[in-house]
Amino acid sequence: MAEERSSLKWLWVVLSIIGLLIFGPLSFYSLFYMISGYGGGVWRLLGLIPIAIVAMIILGLVRLFS
């Protein structure tokens, strides 16, 4: 049973890292987009979505290893 929990934990770690690889560059681009002042209010709000996804993935990884 302990081995099954460990493999499930590492599955979540691998999936989280894949999620970071997908949404990480998007969040950096949207952060640059918001800081530089381009676009209107709706586009800035849409830019928060990848940043929030990356934050949730990082918090999930911290929760897995604590």
pTM value is 0.69
Q: Tell me the chain's radius of gyration from C-alpha atoms.
A: 15
DSSP 4-25: HHHHHHHHHHHHHHHHHHHHHH
Residue 58 reports pLDDT greater than 60: yes
pLDDT in tens, 5-40: 778 888 888 989 999 898 888 888 877 777 776 666
pLDDT exceeds 70 at position 4: no
